[in-house]
Structure 1
């Protein structure tokens, strides 16, 4: 499953709901980063100075920068980040205003983006969100390194609509989960549900059902059954999943990786 799981889990310990103290979050990330499924360390731009002060000479963090201080300040912030040799900025995440028309907000944001770093633009389920995806897709076709971002809480139908819309446009996305559970629990979609949903969207299968499933062995079996080409195609669509507890997520993922296939389970 290496093609499917490589760098899947981004570490969002600094964000809600936990908002882990910087020293604790950084220490946990250093330990977790040895796992091949570990991805970026996500840090708000407003806390980069705090992060920098706690780095050690041996650090080389793959950094996902959260543009929480506004897109106008992003070029200056990126210049500061690039001046720090112990971090490697690999993506910027920018949330569109919740109360704005998403298509218009996306157009304004795209026009202001720095050209030399991939950006993941977080959309809201507000009017214009599908048109916003069209704008992102069009900009990407013109060479802008763009992807979408989404918070996967809420009804499965809404999450499924977003995943399917990205698949229809060939638009890669990353998502933020509200917990580090691998499988759906109550109204929260686990990161394995999202991974299977992306695989189903690529194949035109039932995305909502993949999000609603709560059977760990069945999910594991269906993911294990993906061919190498299917796994790579899935990950070209789903770039990563951000969780507030990367260590716990990676531990849960290691259990899933050891799960034997279940021939009785069927995807979609």
Structure 2
């Protein structure tokens, strides 16, 4: 059922602040589960998404596919370099990341906007690549890993105003990772704000609102983008972990959309300084839902 809260139309929303809230917030994870798009199609569709007025960030690509994505970018005919982030799963070796960055470093058709790796005691070895590093925080040793990433972030200068080091947390379930509930996600958000470290999210954040989504008799529980944005704002304002859990559990779209629309420019900047991006395998879904809620214009211009 479509969400139709009693909100002003998009033309009455404070557009500059709301636009800044969503600018390059949604990274394109089309090639990762559950989307699993072939790389050539993902590149083509990603380039077409430039019509989304700067809402979409880089294309997320497995580090081992760096050579293939470089060839596809070169043959695309685009005058604008393809922005990609090279990703490896937790526990994977770091060599493909280093090799991928070295391979694409001088490629005029492509821009490596960052690398994403799982936390290990040796993650700092990749800082010499000169690309922003996103480190996925595990469940086992969560507090140790987050504190370690925060220390690394505090000692590493930003790269062109982008955090040189940030944390990452998986919000969706996999065969080896059960879905983190509101309390677990609230703990991560609260911890990042407390440590002063920026973060991005990955996996499972496909919709504007918290709910049960997907097909089948038992749809998957999923966190909502608006829930996360409001929770980050509240964390910055000093809310407790328990209070953040309540925000993440909220299911009233009107209440959350109104809270987002009322954020000031300074509050938006504070939220995005903490919550920098998240990966989504179908970027049009959250964009369409945000537009339906009156938070984005339906007729988005090209970049």
Q: Say whether the 8 Å CA contact 2:97–2:115 is kept in structure 1.
A: no
Cα gap change, 1:48 to 1:37, in 2 (>3 Å): same
Q: Normalization by structure 1: what TM-score?
A: 0.87
Question: Following the alignment from structure 2 to structure 1, what is the Cα–Cα distance between the partners of residues 58 and 285?
Answer: 15
1:71–1:113 contact (8 Å) kept in structure 2: no
Check conservation: 1:14, 1:42, Cα contact below 8 A.
yes
Evaluate the alpha carbon distance shift between residue 141 and residue 258 of structure 1 in structure 2; reply closer, same or farther with a 3 A threshold. closer
Q: Which runs of 4+ in 1 moved over 4 A?
A: none
Task: Work out whether 1:162 is the aligned partner of 2:188.
Answer: yes
Task: Specify which of 1, 11, 28 is matched with residue 45 of structure 2.
Answer: 28
Structure 1 unaligned residues grouped into runs of 5+: 97-104, 260-268
Q: Does 1:193 align with 2:227?
A: yes
2:85 to 41, 64, 84: 64
The CA distance in 2 between the partners of 1:232 and 1:129, in whole Å, is 27
CA distance in 2, matches of 1:34, 1:135: 39
Find the counterpart in structure 2 of residue 84 from structure 1.
Answer: 107
8 Å Cα contact 2:63-2:96 kept in structure 1: no
1:220 shift after superposition: 0.9
Gaps of 5+ in 2: 1-17, 158-163, 173-179, 213-220, 297-303
Return closer, same or farther for 1:256/1:31 CA change in 2, 3 Å cut-off. farther
Indicate the residue corresponding to 1:47 in structure 2.
65
* Correspondence 1:178 to 2:229: no
Structure 1 residues 232, 220: CA separation in 2 closer, same or farther (over 3 Å shift)?
same
Q: TM-score scaled by structure 2?
A: 0.77
Q: Contact 2:227/2:249 (CA < 8 Å) preserved in 1?
A: yes
Aligned to 1:149: 168
How many angstroms does 1:124 deviate by? 1.4
Q: Distance in 2 between matches of 1:223 and 1:182?
A: 12
User: Cα RMSD between the aligned structures?
Assistant: 1.9
Aligned length: 250
Q: Which residue of 1 aligns with 2:161?
A: none
Q: 1:134 aligns with which of 140, 143, 147?
A: 147
Which of the pair has the greater relative contact order for Cα pairs under 8 Å at 6+ separation?
A: 2
> 2:277 maps to which residue?
240
Separation in 1 of the partners of 2:142 and 2:71? Answer: 38
